């Protein structure tokens, strides 16, 4: 079956977006797509090792939430093992993300994390996590400290919101339910973003859960829950802005279930034989980047040449990132045990 669940409709007539904002969203999505395409090339050329999980097709979720509704570099972001694009949207330079994938000392995790463990304290990226649902309680901790600093310590600047990204498979894990309960009880400034791409590795989502509509589970914890077309960056931006405003105002958390799709296999080692051709074609036709580009042109916010100029600019950024990663040094063996524990400043 190609599609059992109807994608939520979104009225673009109500969208208020400037040309600058529209082009910024487009540029961030192109950055994510081009970066991941280059990762595939580098992986197959033997420049990267281990498991590499790409984000192609899901760009509207990362961009819509982080660039569209949050304060990148100030608010906190918790990711998954599909974390490269969340890092880029959070402001981590493409050079540092690519160098990390190459295992170089100049990577955002000093070459020690690789594909599944992107981290940047500077950009408030709390990490990518190899274990399913592992980042959910970590994100709650970040949200708790923001609330504690503001309400107990009196720090009026501590109004940061945490975005916690995870997949549909994680919504069946204990951390999901336990953390939602605590977040609701304490009214934490957090948004739980479920990137429901229909497949938990090789297991179809509808076969793995008693109720496939994950956003409805929020009601059990007396918190807001909403589903959104995760292939429409403007729709994601709209629901994320409401959720972030709610969290920043002290009104508690939100579960956002973004219905999306990964255009590649689970990882670059996955032959992608589980999904049907008809299912893939259904989602490929809803490419979020093409959808945004068409909107910008239709509403006279950009023309094709402006969009192509952004494409060329980002291609240059990607090419530079690869050169930087290739020329960067390997981690020094003398520092093998460094960064195991926190260091004195």
d(CA 116, CA 91): 17
Q: What is the pLDDT of residue 345?
A: 66
Q: What is the pLDDT of residue 4?
A: 63
Quote the crossing angle between the two packed helices 304-327 and 94-101, to the nearest 10°: 50
Give the CA dihedral 330, 319, 165, 203, nearest 10 degrees. -90
Count of all residues that appear for the chain in the document: 345
pLDDT means over runs of 10, the chain (345 residues): 71 90 98 98 94 97 98 97 98 98 97 96 97 97 98 96 97 97 98 96 91 96 97 98 97 98 95 94 97 97 98 98 98 90 80
248 in Cβ contact with 184 (< 8 Å)? no
Query: Please, where are the H alpha helices in 158-254?
Result: 174-186, 205-208, 233-248
CATH node for 17-324 = 3.40.50.970
Strands 162-167 and 203-204: unpaired
Q: What is the pLDDT of residue 2?
A: 40
Tokens 């970040």 identify what position?
Answer: 142
Q: What is the DSSP letter of 330?
A: P
What's the whole-model pTM score?
0.96
d(CA 282, CA 259): 13
Structure tokens at 104: 């170089």
* Of the candidates 47, 44, 102, the residue with the CA atom closest to the CA atom of residue 330: 102
DSSP state letters, 73-93: TTSEEE--SS-HHHHHHTT--
């Amino acid at each position: 079956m190609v599609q059992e669940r109807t994608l939520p409709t979104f009225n673009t007539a109500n969208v208020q977006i400037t040309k600058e904002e529209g082009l910024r969203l487009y540029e961030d999505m192109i950055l994510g797509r081009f970066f991941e395409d280059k990762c595939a090339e580098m992986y197959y050329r033997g420049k990267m090792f281990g498991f590499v999980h790409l984000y192609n097709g899901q760009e509207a979720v990362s961009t819509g939430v982080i660039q569209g509704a949050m304060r990148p570099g100030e608010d906190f972001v918790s990711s998954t093992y599909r974390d490269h694009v969340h890092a880029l949207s959070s402001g981590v330079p493409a050079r540092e993300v690519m160098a990390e994938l190459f295992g170089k000392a100049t990577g955002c995790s000093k070459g020690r994390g690789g594909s599944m463990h992107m981290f940047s304290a500077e950009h408030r990226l709390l990490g990518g996590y190899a274990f399913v649902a592992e980042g959910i309680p970590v994100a709650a901790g970040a949200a708790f400290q923001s609330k504690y600093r503001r309400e107990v310590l009196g720090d009026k600047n501590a109004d940061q919101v945490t975005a916690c990204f995870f997949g549909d498979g994680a919504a069946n894990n204990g951390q999901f339910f336990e953390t939602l309960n605590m977040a609701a009880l304490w009214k934490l400034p957090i948004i739980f973003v479920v990137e429901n791409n229909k497949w938990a590795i090789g297991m179809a989502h509808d076969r793995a859960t008693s109720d496939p509509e994950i956003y409805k589970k929020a009601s059990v914890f007396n918190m807001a829950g909403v589903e959104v077309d995760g292939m429409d960056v403007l729709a994601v931006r709209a629901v994320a802005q409401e959720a972030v405003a709610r969290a920043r105002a002290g009104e508690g958390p939100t579960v956002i279930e973004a219905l999306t799709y990964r255009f590649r296999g689970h990882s670059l080692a996955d032959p992608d034989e589980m999904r049907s051709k008809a299912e893939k074609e259904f989602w490929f036709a809803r490419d979020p980047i093409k959808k945004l580009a068409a909107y910008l042109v239709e509403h006279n916010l950009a023309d094709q040449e402006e969009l192509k100029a952004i494409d060329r600019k980002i291609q240059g950024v990607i090419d530079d990132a690869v050169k930087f990663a290739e020329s960067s040094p390997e981690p020094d063996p003398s520092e093998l045990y460094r960064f195991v524990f926190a260091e004195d400043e």
